[in-house]
Amino acid sequence: MEKSDLLKSKTKGKFLVAVCAFIINNNGEILMTKRSGQRDHDPGAWELISGRFNQDFSNVEDEITREIKEELGENINIQLIAPISFYHFYRANDRNSELVGINYLCRYLGGKIKLSSEHTEYSWIEFNEAVKKAKHELLIKDLKHFIKIKDLYLDNDSQLTKVFKKSN
């Protein structure tokens, strides 16, 4: 069987779309939240704001903003800068819960943080400390990648927000 035939014979996946918001402040810190002990996946773990997209969403940017406000409160003011990387994983190692996600850089502009019931606490943390605090291996890998490229994004954030093509 030729390689192209083999690829055609594979079962096509059904993926959920997710986002992970790398929210940074002007002090060079990233926002981490602690998952509630009642959560079904990684209870008590420190993470970044993340979540799955709703079905039939209007555009990626609106869905990222919705997820951030859902978990941090309606008064949070965030600037979306640009996607920084993508990820793929099986939630709780369940092959029926496959996600493809977007790591998106955001800047905290202000507003009172009011956590949803999904989290019990939050903290602004220096980037290298965030790597140490993270539990999930994929998040650790993505944080380390972000540390390598952050200056490129942060030094050019105003230009990125102007030229990056927004979703339809």
- The model's pLDDT over 128-158, given as tens digits with 9 standing for 90+, comes to 999 999 988 999 999 999 999 999 988 888 8
Residue 75: exposure state from Cβ atoms within 10 A (0-12, 13-18, ≥19) = exposed
Q: pTM value? A: 0.88
Q: The CATH number of the domain where 112 resides is what?
A: 3.90.79.10
- The model's pLDDT over 101-121, given as tens digits with 9 standing for 90+, comes to 999 999 999 999 999 999 999
- The pLDDT, as a whole number, for residue 158 is 85
- Residue 86 in any domain: the answer is yes
Cβ distance 95 to 54 under 8 Å? no
Mean of all residue pLDDT scores within the chain: 89
- Residue 120 in any domain: the answer is yes
- Residue 1 in any domain: the answer is no
Q: What is the dihedral of CA 133, 65, 80, 87, to 10 degrees?
A: 50
- Residue 167 in any domain: the answer is no
Instruction: Decide if pLDDT at 41 tops 70.
Output: yes
